[in-house]
Homo-oligomer: A and B are copies of this chain.
Amino acid sequence: MDNKEVTIHDIASILGIDSSTVSRALNDSSRVAKKTKDKILEKSIELGYQRNHLASNLRKSKTFTLGVIVPRISRQFFSNAIAGIEETAFKAGYTVVICQSLESFEREESIINSLLANRVDGVLISISMETKNYEHLAGLKQRNIPYVFFDRHCKIPENSNVVIDDFKAAYKAVEHLIDNNCKEIAHFSGPQNLEIYKNRFKGYKAALEKYNIPFREELVISSSLMENNGKENVIKMLTLPYKVDGLFCANDVVAIGAMKYLKEINIKIPEDFAIVGFSNESISSVIEPGLTTVNQSGLKIGNVAANLLIDKISNESKRKNHETIIVKTNLIERKSSLRKSDIKS
């Protein structure tokens, strides 16, 4: 009853041919006669043969494994992105190892070392809040292991990134608020070492400029990305000597915290106060109506990023591609978030 697995040698000896021919047939090589190939395929199915990837990979010295590093898997955006990565990777025969940096640079570093030890074929990474230099990536570079940033990329030019157009999305978001008659618009931003928050801030600023709304330094409140920061930011905002009636929030979790607190203190959303936040497929359904969101397209980013990485792995030599791919986003308006009608009447 010892479940010995079927090998190509079993098939070969039964058929009275060599195992190398079986190997070729099973890899659909053109250098084996159709007749033999059919015979081999048939027999392999009959015996329930399944390739031993360990042996195959050892021989090819490839692991067919991708490392993925995210700050926290339970964040909606990242779990969506991971779903996308898994999907694409799986189709291409890759396995995915998921690691959480938990926003710690140190952990990020040790994860990279461990992925290196596991000889992953490539790495997808969304950097932690703490990550301000990129020396911990040296090992990857040195070993010639391709890596792709997604969402939280970094500013080094010769890297590959998969992102949304944060600038444009932010611009549109703020434009939407202006459209809805907001006159004094605050911005809750994230850590400024992360490019995405920088760019969202720039988009905010650009939209104000375009519509001749004065930019006020104090209305830009940067914080960490926890829910309670939403409340803290609102409190800070309310002490300012402006009648703020709109908010562009660059982070979903902070937006939720802000909304909750605003409701708690009986500020009507969106009638008295309109909000646009970043968010994604799943969470947008969890968020209260009243919040218009920029779809972060986690799933799609995951798909695209995995695709790009696998492409890099396969075409190692062909092109040293340092591309940045921009995944499209769209604005999702909850019905009750439109203030236009109020204004018209």
Contacts and interface: CB of A to CB of B under 8 A. Distances in A.
A131 interface: no
State how many copies of this chain the complex holds: 2
A38 B65 CA distance: 32
Given A54-B58, A143-B3, A100 B119 contact: no
A41 interface: no
Interface in A95-154: 95-100, 114, 116-119, 142-144
Interface residues of A, number: 47
Interface in A288-302: 288-289
Contacts of A74: 76, 79-80, 83, 281-282
B53 A55 contact: no
A63 interface: yes
A76 B58 CA distance: 37
Nearest to A257: B285
Contact of A119 (B52, B82, B114, B118): B52
Given A65-B95, A86-B99, 10 more contacts: A3-B142, A50-B116, A54-B119, A55-B58, A73-B82, A76-B76, A86-B98, A90-B99, A95-B118, A288-B288
Interface of A: 3, 50-55, 57-58, 61, 63, 65, 72-74, 76, 79-80, 82-83, 86, 90, 95-100, 114, 116-119, 142-144, 227, 256, 260, 264, 281-283, 285-286, 288-289
